[in-house]
Amino acid sequence: MAGDLGPGRWAAEDTSPGEIEAALRELLKERFAEHDSFAPARVLNLVVLADDDWKGEIQNRLDHVGRNHASRTILLAVEPGRETLEAHAEIDVEDTGASGEMVAGTEQITITCGGRHLAGLDSIVDPLVVTDLATLIWAPHGHREGLDSLLSLAQIVLVDSVNEPDPAGAVQRAQELSREAYVVDLAWLRSTPWRERVAASFDPPLWRDELYRISSVTVRHRPDSGAAAVLFFGWLATRLGWQADSLVGQDGSRWGKARARRGEVTLTMSPDPSMSAPGLAGITVETASGMSLSLDRGPGGLAATRTLADGRSSSFTVMGASRGESGILGEGIRQALLRDHTYAPALEAAASMLA
């Protein structure tokens, strides 16, 4: 049963991909008839695979990504036991408020499916993605069978390595996916302000030589964000030419050694149970000359403290260093159209540390 719900909206029960695609074409025709300057956005397809019970929360996150929203979003909500497809489609038109100016439209398709559909999701989604556009897939609740089915349609996969219970499993899964598509990892993006701040702290000529005297690095992280910490170690190792040994662990902590040009570097991962948000809580870098740099999450940004060998210290706040979780998802969608050439080497280094 299908029905028009008003301008730009359509819904149906017990439907098919062909009927959904035909309904979208009719909705686009309606929009063209309503607005002589209407043009559908054509930048990126986003396919989201989520649990039906949590689709509201996922939709809320998607609604808050700001200008980074996809051109066409297909939300697949998995309802256990469901045998048929239920669908809802709508086209939102951006109101510019100026007569005669082009108005852009974005399309949202929500399909409720069942576990029996997971292995064949590619056949359901294939008619619905806009051809000649990059397709990004995101499965925040797992559903590996469905994600693997969708890989044939996608060029980019969005993952969040902190969602895996074990950092080694998270890194291994990211490596598997990277063989099929370009991977954007939210765990990696959360550490961007930390990596930028550490790099900037050693950038002045006065401190640059201290990079090669680093003797220890401690990363404090939320207990379930070990993957973010080891990816940070992987980034340091690949940028500075370290050869890292395997990390050993107990009770959530991990430690190990890396061989640098001028000696060994001690690497320590320290869980911080007080950390509420996913990701890193703090970083301390120490050098053989006695200098140390500490960064800690604080109100409004990162609290930075540099201590010199003679005991003198200076402190300041890096304002606005965190994008928040809604900002992280928006940045993940934006990164789908870019390329970060430092992630893959860091991922490979992290995998060797967790081997």
Q: What is the pTM of this model?
A: 0.90
pLDDT (tens digit, 9 = 90+) per residue, 161-211? 998 888 999 999 999 999 999 999 999 999 999 999 999 999 999 899 999
What is the distance between the terminal CA atoms of the chain, rounded to a whole angstrom?
53
pLDDT at position 237: 97
251 near 273, Cβ under 8 Å?
no
Share of the chain above pLDDT 90, in %: 74
Of 6-10, 42-46, 109-113, minimum mean pLDDT range: 6-10
| pLDDT over 90 at 228, yes or no | yes
By three-state DSSP, how is residue 139 classified? coil
20 has pLDDT over 60? yes
Confidence band of 7 (pLDDT split at 50, 70, 90): low
Cβ(280)–Cβ(194) below 8 Å: yes
Asked which of 17-31, 112-126, 305-319 is least confident by mean pLDDT, the reply is 305-319
Q: Which of 132, 143, 282, 141 is nearest to 221 (CA)?
A: 282
Considering the chain, what percentage of its residues have pLDDT values greater than 70? 94
Range of lowest pLDDT (22-36, 69-83, 147-161): 22-36
Q: What does the CA dihedral 296, 236, 339, 337 come to, rounded to 10 degrees? A: -20
**Placement of tokens 């207990």 in the chain:** 223
User: Mean pLDDT score of the chain, rounded to an integer?
Assistant: 91
The confidence score (pLDDT) of residue 159 equals 97
Q: Which of 86, 72, 91, 74 is nearest to 7 (CA)?
A: 91
Q: State the pLDDT at residue 99.
A: 60
Q: What is the DSSP string of 248-291?
A: EEETTEEEEEEEETTEEEEEEEEE-TT--SSSEEEEEEEETTS-
Using the predicted structure, report yes or no on whether residue 38 has a pLDDT greater than 90: no
How confident is the model over 93-117, as a mean pLDDT? 83
The domain made up of 190-322+346-353 has a fold known as Dihydrodipicolinate Reductase; domain 2 (3.30.360)
Using the predicted structure, report yes or no on whether residue 2 has a pLDDT greater than 60: no
Distance of CA 234 to the CA centre of its chain: 18
Distance CA 212, CA 8 (A): 60
Query: Please, what is the angle between helix 343-353 and helix 167-178, to 10°?
Result: 140
* Per-residue CA distances from 64 to 45, 49, 59, 315, 326 (Å): 17, 18, 9, 34, 6
Residue 59 has pLDDT above 90, yes or no: yes
Maximum C-alpha span of the chain: 77
pLDDT band at 247 (very low <50, low <70, confident <90, very high): very high
Q: Tokens 């695979």 identify what position?
A: 49
139 has a pLDDT exceeding 70: yes
pLDDT at position 249: 87
- pLDDT, average across residues 239-245: 95
Q: Domain spans of the chain? A: 2-154, 190-322+346-353
Main-chain dihedrals φ then ψ at residue 57, nearest 5 degrees = -65, -40
User: What type of residue is 218?
Assistant: T
